[in-house]
Chains A and B, each alone.
Chain A
Amino acid sequence: MPSFAQKSNGSTSTRRVLFAVLVVVSIVLLILYGRDGEDGPLHAVQASVMGVTSQVSSVGAGVGAAADSASTAIDDVTANPTTLEGLRQQNEELRQMLADMDEYRQEVDRLRGLLDMKQVSAVTGPIAHVIGRSTNAWDQSVTIDLGSEDGVVSGMTVMSSTGVIGQVSRASEHTSTVRLLTDPNSGAAVMVQSSRANGIVRGSLNGLLYLEDIDEDKLPVEGDVILTSGLGGSYERGLIVGAVASVGDSASSTSGRIIINPNASAEMLEEVIVVFKAPKVNVTAKDSSSAKKAGNASADEQNVEGQEEGEAVDVTAVQQEDPIDAVLLEESLQDDQDSEDMQAEDDEQYNDEG
């Protein structure tokens, strides 16, 4: 019969072997996962598991409300009981109704904001509810209740009522994961609305958005609106990303920092738009005005609808109505004039060569 010391040694060596085996298994998994494509089997299994867990994870949303209720209950207990007795009974129903009404009102406000944004930026796509948040501190993402069965595919742009917030990184059957712009792994090709300078907006671990790779001669100033440029094809073109919050002293150098105000944080998101299609010609002068009224100037390539149809556009008339629109309109006309001139030059050169 083996002694305890022998048993103990045997158990220790078994543990060591098991530990070594599991370390190897972990490393092999990491390597396989790294080599596995987005559509690979490991990613597919992970997406399925995440799809299942995220559908029920919205249960946790009640935790915040429960904490508030607990706080109110403690306040009630510590107050004068005789005074509260009558009031509690009388107000119980009213409070419930008020809470319900307030909830509905807030939801209506949020949905109205989303509809305004859809109208202003002329995008098409369904509205989705945010049903879960990331369980991992390293991952800034949210889960929405639309999946591949609803037409959502990986790479689609996602907007809130104030603009672009990220893109779909993974779509399962009924749910999708949206990686927020503030995630360090996010990167969006953008342009500064006023100077048309191109750059890249990246997220960071501290939750801020940084504008990088921008032309030194065209540095933005505080308040400049940043739009998606559509370069690289990862995001739809002409959608608002945010506004420049600050420009560092050494913004032109590689260590320079241009900070963009993000559109929303994961904690505040409840409904979002999944952009199925964004128009090529985004904003007319009229639309731009609506965008301002909605609180955000919308994105655009600053093409003018009337001009496309060959109609003359009266800048002065627009200026009287809205000076900001007039500036946009003049820029637009100038851009189009420039492109026409370049086209004419090209044609001339081509004819000469011919």
Chain B
Amino acid sequence: MVTSEHMIVIVGAVAALVLQLFLAPYIALFGIVPNFLIAFAMAIAIIRSSSYGCVMPFVLGLAFDFTSGAPLGAMALSLMVASVVASSCFTRFNNDSLFMALAFMAFGAIMAEVLYGVIIIATGYQASLSGAFLFRMLPCFLYDFALSLVLYLILRRIAKPSGVVRTELTQLR
């Protein structure tokens, strides 16, 4: 069943894809095109870490692969793995501080960029791993992280899961 919380995430994901297609190429800095999908997925992974699934990042990544000409499955796999890992780690180590949220968002973003870079180099991209890290992964990560920070600050007010704490009644007894 699609709830209003799901709707917020779906609308946000579509908006991120639209921004990636129509805005990202025009705000590139020194050839570094930002990735709104990574930024959005990481922000949601941290905000909704307790209920974060893997379908949304997979679908977003696949949409990116189809529209960008990248090897199909590359971004789908990278985005899904990185965001799920970041979300799981954050759930485990969360201490309600902003620092932890930012740290795991950064961890997820760089993981997504590195995984994606490794996959496309493995599929025939003509670049060395060190060069790719220096000239693509690192600058892209910085740009993505800046975007995810902005998105996190916006989305945590509107996309935060409802604060109902479900308890196990049998355990209470």
Residues of A within 8 A of B (CB): 3-5, 15, 18-19, 22-23, 25-30, 32-34, 42, 45-46, 49-50, 53, 56-57, 59-61, 63-64, 132-141, 170, 177, 184-185, 187, 202, 204-207, 266-267
B20 at the interface (CB under 8 A from A): yes
Given contacts A133-B26, A138-B120, 9 further A-B contacts (CB under 8 A): A29-B62, A53-B67, A63-B22, A134-B33, A136-B68, A139-B69, A170-B69, A184-B126, A187-B126
- Closest chain-B Cβ to A155's Cβ sits at a distance in Å of 16
The answer to whether A3 and B26 touch across the interface, beta carbons within 8 angstroms, is no
**Chain B residue with Cβ nearest A42:** B72
Q: Check B72–A46 contact: CB distance below 8 A.
A: yes
* Given A26-B73, A30-B123: A19 in contact with B67 (beta carbons within 8 A): no
A187 to B168, CA, bound (A): 64
Interface residues of B in 76-128 (CB under 8 A from A): 76-77, 80-81, 84, 116-117, 119-120, 123-127
Docked complex Cα distance between A133 and B21 (Å) = 9
Kindly provide the distance from the CB of B87 to the nearest chain A CB, expressed in whole angstroms. Answer: 11
B13 within 8 A of A: no
Can you list 11 A-B pairs with a CB-CB distance of less than 8 A?
A19-B54, A23-B80, A23-B81, A26-B58, A29-B62, A32-B72, A53-B21, A136-B69, A137-B34, A138-B70, A184-B126
> Cβ of B55: which chain A residues have Cβ within 8 Å of it?
18, 22
> In the complex, are the beta carbons of B69 and A205 less than 8 A apart?
no
**Shortest CB distance B58–A (Å):** 5
With contacts A30-B73, A63-B23 taken as known, whether A46 is within 8 angstroms of B135 at the C-beta atoms is: no
Is there contact, CB below 8 Å, between B168 and A5?
A: yes
Given contacts A50-B69, A136-B33, A205-B131, contact A22 B80 (CB under 8 A): yes
A266 to B124, CA, bound (A): 23
| Chain B residue at minimum C-beta to C-beta distance from A15 | B53
Q: How far, in angstroms, from A27 to B81 measured CA to CA in the complex?
A: 12
Q: Which residues of B contact A206 (CB under 8 A)?
A: 131, 135
Q: B49 within 8 Å of A by Cβ?
A: no
Interface size on B, residues (CB 8 A): 58
> CB < 8 Å: which of B27, B58, B140, B171 contacts A63?
B27
Residues of A within 8 A of B61 (CB): 26
User: Would you call B26 and A134 a contact (CB within 8 A)?
Assistant: no
Q: Which residues of B contact A139 (CB under 8 A)?
A: 68-70
Residues in chain A near residue B66, CB distance under 8 A: 45-46, 49-50
User: Chain A: which residue is nearest B127 at the CB level?
Assistant: A184
**Nearest A-chain residue to B67, judged by Cβ:** A53
B147 at the interface (CB under 8 A from A): no
CA A50 – CA B23 in complex, angstroms?
A: 16
List the A side residues contacting B20 at CB < 8 Å.
Answer: 135
| Docked-complex contact B126 and A135, CB < 8 angstroms | no
Q: CA of A63 to CA of B72 in the docked complex: distance in angstroms? A: 29
Return B68 CB to nearest CB of chain A, in Å.
Answer: 4
Contact (Cβ within 8 A) B23 A33: no
Min CB distance, B109 to chain A, in Å? 13
Chain A residues with CB under 8 Å of B69's CB are 46, 50, 134, 136, 139, 141, 170, 177
Q: Which of B26, B34, B125, B166 contacts A64 (CB 8 A)?
A: B26
Chain A residues within an 8 Å CB radius of B25 = 57, 60, 132-135
Contacting pair A49 B67 (CB below 8 A): yes
Shortest distance between the CB of A232 and any CB in chain B (Å): 16
